């Protein structure tokens, strides 16, 4: 019988890999293990061992230290350094009086030692103990992973109310709890605020049957939210027919102004086919008006104990809201602070012009940039 590949034990039997260059030791050890109902497999060198482990990770490895080629210590070190096999117990087989090998074995991460000549009872007792330990470790690891998945799911659920799924994944992959990724928002924070609303909403609400208004508004907001998520913005509020979005918050985005402008353009383009359909179905002329401004805001949960919302408050939000109100259909008005960040980007665009506008609450007129988006 070929002892290296001998008969496989019953399904679910404890799987032990014996690594030894001496065929007699391999035959002896695999025989003892199989007699005890274990699933024993053998490798005569390191290369064969790695191939078998990759194919089917064992529950335990019995490893001779003195082998030609890759030594038992090197195999042990490699298995312990690999996340997939680090928890597999390794028993190093050394000569009885070989203290130096035992020290090297401990340094290589071995879990236990067995002396050659191998005593049958000692071998089986050590394997039983390590098997129990291995199963406990595996169970603990599985519980830890389940808790981790549960915790991430809770974070994902909480985040996804505000930020894009892609950004949520980024936060979760880069940080255990978001703490390393999120900006410190305890002070005033520089953001880019974008306000968008539906032009023609008042007419829509009086001409379209009430039962159709909510599904139509959902359609409108769905397109806008998709545009926001594509550019990793954060939605702070959806009220009536308008939407407030922030960039560079809660995660730092050096290109926040570019993201805001890209979002605005995508909003108009995504909504265009819907606007055409509404025109043909209800005779409505609709579009989107958008305002963008940059500056410092206060970020936080604002409200009363019974009703709170995560929001941004400050002058750029007010300016963006005013600009949105003043924008024509499918026009983006960009405030003076956001404009500064967009010079490089807008240099390439030919569909914009500068305007001086007097905004409510501002003493002096401000220069803004108007960008028309072709709604094709």
Partner 1 sequence: MPEKTYTVTIAKDLEDLIPVFVEHRRKELESLRAALAAGAFEQLRQLGHRMKGVGMSYGFDRVSALGKQIEEGARTGDRGAVEARIAEYADYLARVKVVYE
Residues at the contact surface with partner 1, assessed by CB under 8 A: 1, 3, 22-25, 27-28, 31, 35, 66, 95, 116-118, 120
Closer by beta carbon to partner 1, 95 or else 213: 95
Q: How far is the CB of 36 from partner 1 (least distance, A)?
A: 10
Question: In whole angstroms, what is the distance from residue 25 CA to residue 19 CA?
Answer: 9
Instruction: Please name the residues in contact with 336: beta carbons below 8 A apart, sequence gap of 6 or more.
Output: 293, 366, 367, 368
Closer by beta carbon to partner 1, 54 or else 96: 96
Q: Phi and psi dihedrals of 256, rounded to 5? A: -60, -45
- The vertex-190 CA angle with 188 and 195, nearest 5°, equals 110
Question: What DSSP character marks residue 163?
Answer: B
Distance of CA 134 to the CA centre of its chain: 30
Question: In whole angstroms, what is the distance from residue 141 CA to residue 159 CA?
Answer: 27
Structure tokens of 212?
């159709």
Q: How far is the CB of 20 from partner 1 (least distance, A)?
A: 9
Q: How far is the CB of 28 from partner 1 (least distance, A)?
A: 5
Q: How far is the CB of 23 from partner 1 (least distance, A)?
A: 7
Closer by beta carbon to partner 1, 101 or else 231: 101
Q: How far is the CB of 67 from partner 1 (least distance, A)?
A: 11
Q: How far is the CB of 1 from partner 1 (least distance, A)?
A: 8
Structure tokens of 302?
């604002």
Closer by beta carbon to partner 1, 22 or else 230: 22
Closer by beta carbon to partner 1, 4 or else 298: 4
Q: How far is the CB of 37 from partner 1 (least distance, A)?
A: 13
Closer by beta carbon to partner 1, 16 or else 332: 16
Q: How far is the CB of 73 from partner 1 (least distance, A)?
A: 17
Question: What DSSP character marks residue 296?
Answer: E
Instruction: Please name the residues in contact with 310: beta carbons below 8 A apart, sequence gap of 6 or more.
Output: 162, 236, 299, 300, 301, 302
Q: How far is the CB of 30 from partner 1 (least distance, A)?
A: 10
Closer by beta carbon to partner 1, 5 or else 279: 5
- Cβ pair 189, 298 in contact under 8 A: yes
Helix (H) or strand (E) holding 65: none
Question: What DSSP character marks residue 138?
Answer: H
Closer by beta carbon to partner 1, 19 or else 272: 19
Please, what's the largest Cα pairwise distance for the chain?
Answer: 97
Burial of 288 (0-12, 13-18, 19+ CB in 10 A): buried
The dihedral sign for the CA sequence 6, 11, 13, 18? positive
Closer by beta carbon to partner 1, 95 or else 262: 95
Can you tell me whether residue 311 is helix, strand or coil?
A: strand
Question: In whole angstroms, what is the distance from residue 10 CA to residue 23 CA?
Answer: 24
């Amino acid at each position: 019988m070929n002892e290296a590949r001998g008969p496989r034990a019953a399904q679910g039997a404890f799987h032990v890999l014996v690594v030894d260059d001496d065929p007699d030791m391999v035959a002896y050890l695999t025989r003892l293990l199989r007699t005890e109902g274990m699933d024993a497999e053998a490798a005569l060198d390191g290369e064969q061992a790695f191939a078998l482990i990759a194919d089917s990770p064992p529950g335990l490895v019995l490893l001779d230290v003195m082998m030609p080629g890759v030594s038992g210590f090197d195999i042990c070190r490699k298995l312990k350094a690999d996340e997939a096999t680090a928890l597999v117990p390794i028993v190093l087989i050394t000569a009885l009086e070989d203290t130096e090998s035992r020290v090297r074995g401990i340094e290589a991460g071995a879990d236990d030692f067995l002396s050659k000549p191998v005593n049958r009872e000692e071998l089986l007792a050590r394997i039983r103990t390590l098997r129990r330990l291995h199963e406990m470790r595996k169970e603990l690891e599985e519980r830890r992973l389940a808790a981790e998945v549960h915790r991430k799911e809770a974070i994902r659920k909480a985040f996804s109310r505000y930020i894009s799924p892609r950004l949520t994944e980024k936060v979760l992959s880069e940080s255990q709890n978001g703490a390393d990724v999120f900006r410190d928002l305890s002070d005033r924070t520089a953001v880019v605020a974008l306000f968008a609303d539906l032009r023609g909403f008042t007419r829509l609400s009086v001409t379209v049957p009430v039962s159709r208004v909510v599904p139509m508004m959902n359609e409108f907001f769905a397109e806008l939210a998709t545009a926001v998520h594509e550019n990793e913005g954060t939605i702070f509020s959806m009220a009536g027919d308008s939407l407030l979005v922030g960039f560079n918050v809660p995660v730092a985005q050096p290109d926040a102004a570019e993201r805001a402008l890209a979002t605005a353009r995508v909003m108009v383009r995504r909504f265009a086919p819907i606007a055409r359909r509404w025109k043909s179905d209800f005779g409505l002329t609709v579009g989107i008006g958008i305002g963008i401004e940059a500056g410092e805001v206060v970020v936080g949960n604002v409200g009363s104990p019974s009703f709170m919302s995560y929001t941004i408050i400050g002058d750029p939000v007010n300016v963006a809201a005013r600009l949105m109100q003043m924008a024509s259909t499918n026009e983006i008005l960009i405030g003076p602070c956001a404009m500064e960040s967009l010079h490089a980007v807008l240099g390439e665009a030919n569909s914009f012009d500068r305007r001086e506008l007097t905004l409510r609450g501002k003493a002096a007129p401000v220069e803004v940039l108007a960008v028309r988006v072709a709604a094709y």
